[in-house]
Amino acid sequence: AQKVTQAQTEISVVEKEDVTLDCVYETRDTTYYLFWYKQPPSGELVFLIRRNSFDEQNEISGRYSWNFQKSTSSFNFTITASQVVDSAVYFCALITHSGGGADGLTFGKGTHLIIQP
Amino acid sequence: DTGVSQDPRHKITKRGQNVTFRCDPISEHNRLYWYRQTLGQGPEFLTYFQNEAQLEKSRLLSDRFSAERPKGSFSTLEIQRTEQGDSAMYLCASSSSTSGYNEQFFGPGTRLTVL
């Protein structure tokens, strides 16, 4: 069985601050995929990034960056120079190869990010 | 490019009634997933289709729940004899199996309220 833990239930920062959302995962599989999704107030989940277990390179996309460390089973997400539009609930998720994709994504409970103007 | 659509967006029903939800995935996607999300929680996997075959069902999916994907295109999720505990957002997602485990694209969800 797999598990995703997002220990930060809610984070509130002032606009333009940097913020890091933590994600710790558990799985016995050696092949797996990690994802981050954003759920704005409108409710629709928006895909942000996918990373497979064999690719530990960090990734940067504009103000977003991700740090994947297999040694600590973490896949953290940093927003640089946060903006009010970044306010949302962010979910980290995992899917394993052994299930053939059939067991769906395992999500964390999410981190509610509030960016104050 | 049309995304995943779900109908209805909201459903209010009385306990004991049956409800059916529809999901239309992205047209070229062969994988389709149903999830349930309750307030303050992440989505929880319910069931999975590859083309028209239902390949996996979560233990969360009681006998009152049934899902179909008759022609490998749209899917329906039916809940019989609804209970107040069924109140949740029901999400549908689709993906392609062409290369590994691609990202799942989610629909807007159907919010079910059981009175």
pLDDT at position A100, please?
62
A95 touches chain B (CB under 8 A): yes
**Joined tokens for residue A38:** 């954003």
Model pLDDT for residues A86-112, shown as the tens digit of each residue:
999 999 999 987 766 666 899 999 999
In this prediction, residue B78 has a pLDDT band, given cuts at 50, 70 and 90, of very high
- Coil, strand, or helix at residue B35? strand
| Residue B47 reports pLDDT greater than 70 | yes
Do the chains contact at B40 and A101, CB–CB below 8 Å?
A: no
- Give residue-wise pLDDT tens across range A46-91: 999 999 898 888 888 999 999 999 999 999 999 999 999 999 999 9
Judged against a pLDDT cut of 90, whether residue A36 lies above it is answered with yes
Query: Partners of B95 in the beta sheet?
Result: B31
Torsion angle of C-alpha atoms B33, B38, B42, B45, degrees rounded to 10: -30
Contact at CB, A105 and B105, closer than 8 angstroms: no
Q: Is the alpha carbon torsion for A36, B55, B51, A32 positive or negative?
A: positive
